[in-house]
Every structure is written in C-alpha cells, then in structure tokens.
Chains A and B, each alone.
Chain A
Amino acid sequence: MTRRILDHPILGKIEDDNYVSFTFNHRVYKGLENESLAAALLANGIRTLRHHEKSGASRGIYCNIGHCYECRVSVDGQQGIRACLTPVKDGMIVESGGQLQTPRIEDGGLENG
C-alpha cells in the first residue's frame, strides 16, 4: 500500500511524477526521482533501514534532516550514507547494514579492546 499523499488540501496534487527504480536489499522498488531514499522507502512501507551494529535491533529514521545518523545505509557499495539526505536515482543499489560480528576473544577481540 502506498503512503503517498497524492492530493493535499493546501499543497495540491503532486506535480513531478517521474518514477525511478532502485533496489533495497536486492528487491526492486519505485521512488519519485529526487525524493529522499528515506521517503521512497517509507512510501513503500519500509521503516527498518538498518540493524544496530552491536545489538542487532532494528533502526529507522529519527530526525529526517541529517542530524542523527540513525538512517545510515550503503548506496552503490558506499557505506554510511544518510538515507534522509540522499536523493533517489534510477538504478541505485541500496543495502541496509547488519549486526557486526563481535570479534572473538581468541582473535584479539574484547579483552584487548
């Protein structure tokens, strides 16, 4: 189900309707060209953008304007990109980050940390 507000009582109808395709975690979605990745994903009902590196808990947007860094995803292989500040482009490959493997103590992990 789309969550787009196609017609707004004050703002009127959405004017630019150039849809582009992008993938998120290998699935294809459509977004409006130049809207933010965060908006495009939410319009497709996706709230979870990544998982906490340590606890694995799901995380989504918080501030939506670039301040909190909660929305980090990887875009075309580049990590740590803020989904709320990045315009969607056709063919973009977006992936969420997963939980990091905790280094084992025998590999020089926590104990030396």
Chain B
Amino acid sequence: MDNAIIIGAGPAGLTAAVTCAEKGLEVVVIDEYMRAGGRLLGQLYEEPNGNWWNGIKESNKLYKKAVDLGVNFHLNTAVNNIENSNGIWTIYTERDTFHTPSLLLATGAAEAPIPVPGWTLPGVMSVGAAQVMTNVHRVKPGERGVIIGVNVLSAAIAMELQLAGVEVASLTLPKTNQMTQDSGKPKEVLDSLLHVSHMAPSPFIRYGSKLMKNDFMKKFGVKFYPKKGVKMWDIPIQLRKAVTEIYGENEVEGVTLATINADGEVVSGSEEHIPVDFVCIAGGLYPLAELAAVAGCPFYLVEELGGYVPLHNERMETPLVGLYVAGNITGIEGAKVAAAQGRTAGLSMAHYAGMDELDGEIKNSIEWTEQTRDSAHIQFHPKIEAGRKKILKQWDAYQSNKERSVVTNRQGGIT
C-alpha cells in the first residue's frame, strides 16, 4: 500500500508530492497528461520586475525535485473513479487500481465555453488550448486569429500568441445571449478588466483602474470607449464589437464582427467579415472538482472562487477522513498560490501519516499562502479573499453541525 497518492501533477500536486516525500512518505502521483506540470507548463509572462515566468522551466524543476526524492509518477493515466471503504481510498484508472489511506485531489481547473454560432468548426479552440499548442508543443494554432471573451486569461494568452509570431486580429466580445450573459456586456467586461490593468502598457486601461472605481465612471467609460478599440501590446481590444458568428465550410474561415451598444445589443447593419484561420474562446475557468463529488465530499457554490468547490479548511482537509484538496480545485488562482496550497496539503498528509510536531510548519505554510495571494501578479477573481472566508465559514458551520448531531445521537442512544 502507498502512503500517499496525489491526483494531478500541476503546481499544487507536484509541490504536495515534494513536501510529502521530504517528510518520508512514499508518494505516487497520477496524471492523465503526458507531461508533469499541469497548466503551469503553458504559462509565459513578464513579471513586474522584468523577469520572465517560464512555466516549462518551473514545471521541470518541480518534477525533477519530486523524482529525485523518489516520487513515483504515473503519467498518461486518467483517473475515472475513487471509492472509500474502511478508511482506504481505492483509485481506479484505465490501467491499474491503487490503494491509499491518504489522497490528495489536485485536478485544477477547466475552461467554460461560450457557444457562439459556428463554435464546433475545426480551428475553434479554447484560449487555453492555443496556449498549450504555442508554448508547450511549439505549434502555431494558426496564422491569424480572433479571441472571443475578454478576461485576465485571454489578455495574457493574446500576448503569448503574439510573442510566438501569431497575429491576433482582435480581442473582442461574444454576442449576448442567454448563454454568454455578462461576458457579452461591455460594462461588465470593463469591470473585470480593471483587474488586469496593472499589466497593461496601454495608458487607457492603466488609467481605467484608478478612474473607474465607481459605477458611474464605468458607464461613462463604455460610452466613450472608442469603437475601434484600444490597443494592448498592439492587439486591438474591441469592447464595442462582438462576434455574431464563426463561419467556414469545413474549417474556420472567418468571423462576423458587429458593433454593439453599451448593453451588448448589436447595431444592425454594422456587421463585417474578418478573415481568420483560427478562433479562441475565453469563457473563464471553473474548479474541476468531479472526483471530489464522486468521493462524496460536500460542495458549496462560491462565485468568488469560480464555481462549486469542495468543502475544505485552511489545512486543505476535507470533511472526509484522509481526503485533501489543493490548487484550483479549491478556487481559481495562479500557479504560485496553487503551489503554496500544495505545500500545506502535503504537510497535513504527513501529519495524518503520524508525523508529529508539524503544527508550526502548517501554520507557516498557511501564512505563506496568504502572502502569496496578496502579492499575486495575475488575479482571476477580484474577491478571492471574500470567497476564501465564505468557505471557511461553511467549514465551521459544518463542524459544529456535526458535533451537534453527534450529541443528539448520543442522547438518542441514552433514552
């Protein structure tokens, strides 16, 4: 039997693996991708201090450290089910079945699609797909493309595409419909864009964050937002335009772009055709928590964290004995925060395995996570701290409910 199993070899899982191994646990890491690193692999950006954050290098460093510590990797192995009986977790994959008393789920995040008409044509892909093609496999997703959906991730990836010599003709919005909701409304988008403003060299957007703190200014901003858009890294960001359709016979040939008003409604007759050979869709990220659901972990919807997250505490424990979570499965944040959470989870797992005197280290690790969060370069959700507090409150409520129900049961037993 293994001492600890970790599902997911992203920054959270890898850091947890290193931590567990350093504490003397025998660790197995399972990941369905062919390389370790998770979504960290594709990340490439210039930090405010001028250094480049190269996700491949960071991933390789972490992976090598884990291998050197004797961590056993099963890559290219998808987990399709987990079960618990008598305190032992059974993990089912396409090949082998694994058993462990202590299991960490670090499965990361998934991308929400925006179903624009024509979005199933070959050549349409999620913005993360383009990131992996360009930065991990070093293959161009196309020569010239349009990105639909303006948010932190799509702004970062637009720049990465440009760095790789791929032309981004426009970063623009989807036409509003029931499915696209806020992502098609200039005002809402501008609102969320204010959180990338510090990365933007464009004075308009940089100003934006200071200028547009209140609602009035935001409306004002959208109204006077130039129809042509503004340029960020030379890429036109067009908040007053929306893609109404992606067209092409068997593959993407272009998009239809229309002018929209501040509420996202199309100005009729304003449509134009933009020839492109690929289209990226950026609908945002949500925690990939299916395995926690299969395990029977309670869930809460916390919008500030990006969606439904499994109940957990600051020590990355879930209410199920021997089950831990870390990284984007607990809320959408950057790789450094995921890694910090992974370390906490690793320490908690070592503690569960019987290692004493880890309380101080766990406390420090929790504090380190908070510091990392505070100084994060990319923030996906502006109210992440409020979200974290909400889930901790749920945790406390759950614990006291449990105690109360144990008490009632006992009383029930006596009478």
Contacts and interface: CB of A to CB of B under 8 A. Distances in A.
Given A36-B34, A62-B129, A3 B140 contact: yes
Contacts of A58: 121-122, 250-251
Given A5-B134, A64-B128, A48 B251 contact: yes
Given A58-B121, A63-B126, A5 B164 contact: yes
Contact of B139 (A10, A43, A67): A43
Contact of B125 (A36, A43, A64, A87): A64
A57 B120 contact: yes
Q: Which of A3, A52, A59 has the most chain B CB within a 10 Å cutoff?
A: A3
B147 to A, nearest CB: 15
Given A39-B137, A39-B139, A48-B250, A34 B125 contact: no
Interface in A41-60: 42-43, 47-49, 52, 57-60
A59 B134 CA distance: 20
B44 A10 contact: yes
B136 to A, nearest CB: 8
Q: How large is the interface on A (under 10, 10 to 19, 20 to 34, 35 or more residues)?
A: 35 or more
A61 B137 contact: no
B226 interface: no
Given A34-B34, A35-B137, A61 B129 contact: yes
Nearest to B78: A66
Interface string B163-193: 1110000000000000000000000000000
A66 B78 CA distance: 9
Given A10-B44, A47-B123, A63 B128 contact: yes
Nearest to A87: B34
A63 B129 contact: yes
B87 to A, nearest CB: 31
B275 to A, nearest CB: 16
A6 B142 CA distance: 15
Contacts of B111: 63, 67
B44 A11 contact: yes
B52 interface: yes
A9 B123 CA distance: 25
A20 interface: no
B32 interface: yes
B132 interface: yes
Interface string A11-47: 1001000000000000000000011100100110001
Nearest to B122: A60
Contacts of B235: none
Q: Would you call the interface of chain A mostly helix, strand, loop, or mixed?
A: loop
A5 B251 CA distance: 22
Contacts of A68: 126
Q: Which of A14, A34, A52, A64 has the most chain B CB within a 10 Å cutoff?
A: A64
Given A39-B137, A47-B122, A66-B32, A10 B129 contact: no
A62 B126 contact: yes
Contacts of B32: 66, 85
B122 A65 contact: no
A36 B126 CA distance: 17
A5 B44 contact: no
B76 interface: yes
Q: Which of B133, B138, B141 has the most chain A CB within a 10 Å cutoff?
A: B138
Given A3-B140, A11-B56, A58-B251, A48 B129 contact: no
B125 A63 contact: yes
B127 to A, nearest CB: 10
Contacts of A47: 122-123, 251
A67 B109 CA distance: 10
Interface string A79-113: 00000111100000000000000000000000000
Nearest to A51: B250
A81 to B, nearest CB: 11
A49 B39 CA distance: 23
A48 B34 contact: no
A4 B143 CA distance: 11
Contact of A60 (B78, B125, B164, B288): B125
B63 to A, nearest CB: 15
A87 to B, nearest CB: 5
Contacts of A63: 110-111, 125-126, 128-129
14 contacts: A3-B139, A5-B138, A5-B139, A11-B44, A34-B34, A42-B139, A48-B251, A52-B120, A60-B121, A63-B111, A65-B132, A67-B111, A85-B34, A87-B34
Given A4-B139, A5-B138, A66-B78, 18 more contacts: A10-B52, A10-B163, A39-B137, A42-B133, A42-B141, A48-B122, A58-B121, A59-B122, A60-B124, A62-B113, A62-B125, A63-B110, A63-B126, A64-B126, A64-B129, A64-B130, A86-B34, A87-B34
